[in-house]
Structure 1
Amino acid sequence: MGTLMPATPTQTLYVSVRRDELRKLKDERDQLRQQVAQLHMMLEQARSGDKAINL
């Protein structure tokens, strides 16, 4: 078996983000969520269309 290494303690990383950067990231996140929801809906429609064709 391999050599066991002692576990290192968890380290916390602090990051500074300007308000305008945070707003931009939140807007980006919202757009991506909308896009995922739209793609999910399209996928469900395609699946239900395939089921109708196979019947």
Structure 2
Amino acid sequence: MPKAARISTSIPVSSASESSDTTQFVTVALFSGIGLLISLVAVILGIQGVWF
């Protein structure tokens, strides 16, 4: 019967982690904002794509 190995890793919590979280949030917010802006312009201009 195969044996399973248990590997435990600890994740240190530091101020670098908080900075990374903020950076990820800003990246997602910018990506979403740009996507919403492009969608809004497409709807206002009446551009029809494959989603219609």
Structure 2 length normalisation: TM-score?
Answer: 0.61
- RMSD between aligned residues: 1.5
Structure 1 residue runs of 4+, over 3 Å off?
none
Comparing both structures, which one devotes a greater share of its residues to helix? Answer: 1
Greater gyration radius: 1
Distance in 1 (CA, whole Å) between partners of 2:26 and 2:14 is 18
| Structure 1 unpaired stretches of 5+ | 1-19
**Paired position in structure 2 for 1:26:** 19
* Higher RCO (CA 8 Å, separation ≥ 6 residues): 2
Q: How many residues align?
A: 35
Structure 1 length normalisation: TM-score?
Answer: 0.58
| Structure 2 unpaired stretches of 5+ | 1-12, 48-52
